[in-house]
Each structure stands twice: as structure tokens, then as C-alpha cells.
Amino acid sequence: PKLKVDAALRRPFVDSRGRYNGKYYYNNLEVVRLHAFRSRLSWSLFVAVDQSGAFMHGPTHKQNLGDADFRSMALPYLLNANQVLKMGKGMIPYHHPAPWDQPYSHSSHCVPELGSTACHERGPLTPAT
């Protein structure tokens, strides 16, 4: 069967060829109605990605997909844009120090200024160039 895809939800996460571009939502606060993520379609998408070997497994420096990548790319298949509220800066008192729509280089998964103890071997995350 042909999958229905919400183009507005998909656009920020794909390049001009329709491939995942490494961007994903930074979830400062996430309120979710789980019915979409408990659906048969969501499970099918999850299994397909898992069988492809694209998910992170074990200690990795973000060479593969994590939960935020998966949810960002699954949303256009599970929901319509009018079912997603993107909470902008100022709507809640906390926000990540990085823009939500920039892919990150994968030199490390620690942020020293947040007190991580695993930061000795590599530097902090930096925006990809």
C-alpha cells in the first residue's frame, strides 16, 4: 500500500533527493499521545529501520540513528502537520543551547559545560559544516 506522508512535517528532515539529512527535533518538552507510536504502521517503520542496522547499538558516537532521529522521520508518516505543535523559544523556560534544525558532527556525545564525566577523549559537539 502507498504510504501517506505529510510534506510539511517531512521537509525539514530530508535533502533535495529525499534522503534523511541528519536534522531532528530537539525535545525540550515532549507531550505525546501514544496512539500514533503504538500503531501498526509505527511498528512496521521501527522494524524496517531496526532490520536495516541504522539504529545505534552500544557505545557509539552517533554514527547511526537514535530515538530523536526516528521520531522526527516517523512523524510525517504517522501524523498530519496540524496534529503537531512546535513550541518555539520562549514558550517554555528551558531550551537546548543548539538550534533544532542543524545536524551535528559526531566528534562526541558529551557536553562538558553540562558536567558530563565522559568528555576526556573528544571535544564537545559542534555544528556540522
pLDDT in tens, 3-53: 899 999 999 989 899 888 888 877 667 778 889 999 999 999 999 988 888
Average pLDDT of the chain is: 73
pLDDT in tens, 75-118: 999 999 999 887 777 777 766 666 555 555 444 444 444 444 44
Residue 104 β-bridge partners: 127
Record the pTM.
Answer: 0.64
* Rounded Cα–Cα distance for residues 65 and 50 (Å): 10
Name the residue ranges covered by the structural domains of the chain. Answer: 7-96
Please return the burial class of 69, using the count of CB atoms within 10 Å of its CB with bins 0-12, 13-18 and 19+: buried
